[in-house]
Amino acid sequence: MASELANGQKVGLVVRRGGNSLTLTATIDREAEVNARRAIQGDSRALRESILSAVFGVDCKELGPQLIEHFGVKEGELVQSVISGSPADKTGILAGDVIVAIGGTSVSRVAMNQLLRAASSSQEVAVEVLRDNAPRAIIVILSDHFLNDRIRAAIGSEVKRAVNDALRSTTETEIQDGVAATLRGLDPSAKRDLNRRRGRNFRKI
């Protein structure tokens, strides 16, 4: 129904609150709707590229309209760099390749949770890439050790950022409580590392 309403149109809404009926007026804002959709799509794209990086060891970027036309594909992720020693590096994926499908499914429709599960059990996965305008099928052997290292590195980066933000804006007690909550569940070595970095002025977690 909302899609049939014009931008700027006012609609009446009847709601019940505390046993009483209230009539509210809302204004349809199509621009806000479009912006919200774009934000969701952007978050989804960023999450997909982060997971591809953690699983395969590639830094990639979704093809825009001009590159889609240039490569002659419907969609894809352009590999910008490959981490040395990563599953992608060991099985021959190169910077400049365009990932178009994983496990026979287009890259934008791959279930990221399934991909993470495959990596956590070191499974093999077929990756279809475009290289020099020719399609190639590459079998990538995923690694749970590589995935875990990437996740730990990402968590460490987020923790450091959270600590630095807290140092600029909160009291010592608030910092200690916030960091302790953030680190709950991390392995002991990660906690020891952060305690060492935080220095003597803060109590240990």
Q: Supply the DSSP string of 149-189, one letter for each residue.
A: HHHHHHHHHHHHHHHHHHHHHS-HHHHHHHHHHHHTTS-HH
Tell which residue, 166, 165, 191, has the closest CA to residue 177.
Answer: 166
Residues 100 and 21 occupy one common structural domain: no
Domain membership flag for residue 205: no
204 in a structural domain: no
17 with 99, same domain: the answer is no
Compute the distance between CA of residue 75 and CA of residue 78 in angstroms, rounded to an integer. Answer: 10
**Residue 112, both tokens:** 């990221």
pLDDT at position 205: 39
User: Do residues 158 and 191 share a domain?
Assistant: yes
* Same-domain status, 170 and 95: no
pLDDT of residue 92: 95
Same domain for 137 and 160, yes or no, is no
- The structural domain count of the chain equals 3
Query: Mean pLDDT, consecutive 10-residue segments, the chain of 205 residues?
Result: 59 70 66 48 69 91 91 92 95 95 90 85 93 93 89 68 56 50 54 56 42
Radius of gyration of the chain (CA): 23
Quick one: 18 and 92 in the same domain? no
Residue 23 lies in a domain: yes
Contact 7, 29 (CB under 8 A): yes
Of the residues 142, 158, 180, which one is the last residue of a structural domain? 142
Residue 82: predicted pLDDT = 96
- Structural domain span for residue 104: 44-142
Based on the fold, state whether residues 60 and 127 are members of the same structural domain. yes
- 6 and 76 in a common domain: no
